[in-house]
Structure 1
């Protein structure tokens, strides 16, 4: 892994969306097996806290990166962590926000950012079936494909861009840029990448 893939197909801008990461306090929120965090540590000199609520994913990350200097692997609830830790200069999340109630995660992230700190995250916008995003903050059932091709039904917040923008600005963030990442094959699936900062 030598880039950050904000969607599921590795196109578009990668880790350059984060800007300079060396020498600042960084959190990978919902880090999974921490391959993105490890890339930033190895290739860009970052020091990254990588947190995931899944014990299985955390154990996989520990097995994959048992002693990578600069990578701090954590198992726990990100909202609880952000409430009691020192603020971060940068928080990023790859395809994680739709799995958490936005009215819970967005205020927690704002609380966990320093003034002028940045948030960058990607979110599903249009599902593989072509279902459009919601115009209000409601969860809907989506099929999530796991490694090995197994699909599990999961409640997700697949929200339209103005809804996300409203949540972010109401919580005190400034939305600097919203990128569209459309799948280049036949499926209509699309993601949005939000770059924001705390004034």
Structure 2
């Protein structure tokens, strides 16, 4: 089903800057709303329940899976992540633009269920830079970082299945590119027909 609102799905390997870019984009674009995912992992740093994620137990998460409450879900780094179907569809049916920040598995699941979704993959400029970013975060032990690097090689290989690719070498440039993707999607014929209906009617456009 095609909804009035747009759905932007942003994925990236851990450390590529996905969360920072999406956060900055939301601060710049009042028309965009973020969808808060459910996860079984523990909160990091200053993360809060209901702000970055809905933190839940594995038992509760799997119960939601059985009830079909997730648009998509996947296991990442040993933790479960899922996107609420009801929350996404309600916002888009209302005409809101929604951005999802999820892993590549979830992104590809959503593309199958919702072909109109716009998939964006964030790439690091190099493997060495990705490793340095993971180390600078100071959140993971060396063994965990190596696991994330190994997973990143699998994740980056999926970038070819996405609609757009943004290389996060310079944060400001990457943010500009991400904004451009959102703006271009809103200028497509179908979107303009919905949002500028008076103009289309005046010009007798279908």
What TM-score does the superposition give when structure 2 sets the normalisation length? 0.39
More strand by share: 1
More helix by share: 2
